[in-house]
Amino acid sequence: MQRSSKNDYEGEPKIAMPTEQCRIVIEGVSPSVDNGRYAAKTVAGDEIQIGADIFKDGHEKLRAAVLFRPVKRTLPVSTTYCRETPSLSGSVWRESPLTEDVNDRWLGSITCGVCGDWVFTICAWTDVFASWRDELRKKAEANADVSSELLEGANIIEQTLRGIRTPSADASGIAAYAEKIGGNGDRAERIAAALDERLAVLMARHDPRADATLFPLELPLWADRAAARFGSWYEIFVRSQGTDPKAITTFREAEKRLPYISSLGFDVLYLTPIHPIGLAFRRGPNNTDMAGPNDPGSCWAIGGSAGGHTAIHPELGTLADFDHYLIAAKRLGIELALDFAVQCSPDHPWVKEHPDWFKHRPDGSIKYAENPPKKYKDIYPIDFDTKDRDGLYKELLNVALFWILRGVKIFRVDNPHTKPCGFWEWFIFTIHEEHPDVLFLAEAFTRPKRMARLAKIGFTQSYTYFTWRNSRSELESYARELFCTDVHYYLRPNFFANTPDILHAFLQEGGRPAFITRLVLAATMSPTFGIYNGFELCENRPLNSGSEEYLDSEKYQIKVWDWDRPGNIRDAVARINAVRKENPALQFPDNLTILESTCPHIVAFAKIHPEKNNHILVIVNLDPHNTHEGTVGVPESLAGNVNYSAYTVKDLLSDEQYLWHGYWNYVRLDPQSKPAHVLRIEG
Q: What is the CATH number of the domain that holds 597?
A: 2.60.40.1180
Do both 514 and 602 map to the same domain?
Answer: no
| Distance from C-alpha of 387 to C-alpha of 109, rounded to nearest angstrom | 47
How many helices and strands in the chain, by DSSP H and E? 16, 29
Amino acid, res. 162 = R
Asked whether residue 379 is assigned to any structural domain, the reply reads: no
Do both 188 and 139 map to the same domain?
Answer: yes
Do both 173 and 67 map to the same domain?
Answer: no
| Distance from C-alpha of 429 to C-alpha of 72, rounded to nearest angstrom | 11
Asked whether residue 620 is assigned to any structural domain, the reply reads: yes
Classify burial at 531, counting beta carbons within 10 Å of its beta carbon; exposed 0-12, middle 13-18, buried 19 or more. Answer: buried
Asked whether residue 95 is assigned to any structural domain, the reply reads: yes
Classify burial at 238, counting beta carbons within 10 Å of its beta carbon; exposed 0-12, middle 13-18, buried 19 or more. Answer: buried
Q: Nearest Cα to 427, choosing from 387, 446, 435?
A: 435
Q: What is the DSSP letter of 356?
A: G
Do both 108 and 62 map to the same domain?
Answer: yes
Do both 115 and 35 map to the same domain?
Answer: yes
Instruction: Assess whether pLDDT exceeds 50 at residue 406.
Output: yes
pLDDT at residue 80, as a whole number: 37
Taking a C-beta distance cutoff of 8 angstroms, is the pair 603, 622 a contact?
A: yes
Instruction: Assess whether pLDDT exceeds 90 at residue 272.
Output: yes
CATH number of the domain that residue 268 is part of? 3.20.20.80
CATH number of the domain that residue 145 is part of? 1.20.58.80
Do both 49 and 72 map to the same domain?
Answer: yes
46-86: pLDDT as tens digits: 999 999 999 999 999 999 999 999 998 776 444 433 333 33
Question: What integer is the mean pLDDT of 657-673?
Answer: 98
pLDDT at residue 184, as a whole number: 86
Question: What integer is the mean pLDDT of 121-139?
Answer: 95
Do both 532 and 621 map to the same domain?
Answer: no
Query: What does the DSSP assignment read for 640-682?
Result: -SS-TTSEEEEETTT--EEEE-SSEEEEEE-TTT-SEEEEEE-
588-618: pLDDT as tens digits: 999 999 999 999 999 999 999 999 999 999 9
pLDDT at residue 34, as a whole number: 97
Do both 144 and 108 map to the same domain?
Answer: no
Amino acid, res. 494 = N
| Distance from C-alpha of 263 to C-alpha of 536, rounded to nearest angstrom | 13
CATH number of the domain that residue 217 is part of? 2.60.40.10
Instruction: Assess whether pLDDT exceeds 60 at residue 12.
Output: no
Boundary residue ending a domain (559, 587, 615): 587
Boundary residue ending a domain (587, 610, 625): 587
SS (H, E, C) 98-164: EEECCCCEEEEEEECCCCEEEEEEEEEEECHHHHHHHHHHHHHHCCCCCHHHHHHHHHHHHHHHHCC
141-180: pLDDT as tens digits: 999 999 999 999 999 999 998 888 777 899 999 999 999 9
Do both 277 and 199 map to the same domain?
Answer: no
Asked whether residue 265 is assigned to any structural domain, the reply reads: yes
Asked whether residue 370 is assigned to any structural domain, the reply reads: no
Taking a C-beta distance cutoff of 8 angstroms, is the pair 432, 402 a contact?
A: no
Do both 85 and 134 map to the same domain?
Answer: no
Do both 550 and 638 map to the same domain?
Answer: no
Do both 579 and 668 map to the same domain?
Answer: no
Split at pLDDT 50, 70, 90, the class of 586 is: very high
| Distance from C-alpha of 637 to C-alpha of 486, rounded to nearest angstrom | 23
Taking a C-beta distance cutoff of 8 angstroms, is the pair 309, 338 a contact?
A: no
Asked whether residue 18 is assigned to any structural domain, the reply reads: no
Query: What does the DSSP assignment read for 501-526?
Result: TB--HHHHHHHHHHHHHHHHHHHHHS
pLDDT at residue 319, as a whole number: 98
Q: Is the pTM of this model over 0.85?
A: yes
Asked whether residue 606 is assigned to any structural domain, the reply reads: yes
Query: 3-state class of 20 per DSSP?
Result: coil
Proportion of the chain above pLDDT 90, given as a percent: 90
Instruction: Assess whether pLDDT exceeds 60 at residue 1.
Output: no
Query: 3-state class of 201 per DSSP?
Result: helix
Range of the structural domain that residue 113 is part of: 24-126+211-223
Q: What is the mean pLDDT of the chain?
A: 93
Split at pLDDT 50, 70, 90, the class of 18 is: low
Active site residues: 414, 443
The tally of domains found in the chain comes to: 4
Question: What integer is the mean pLDDT of 422-429?
Answer: 97
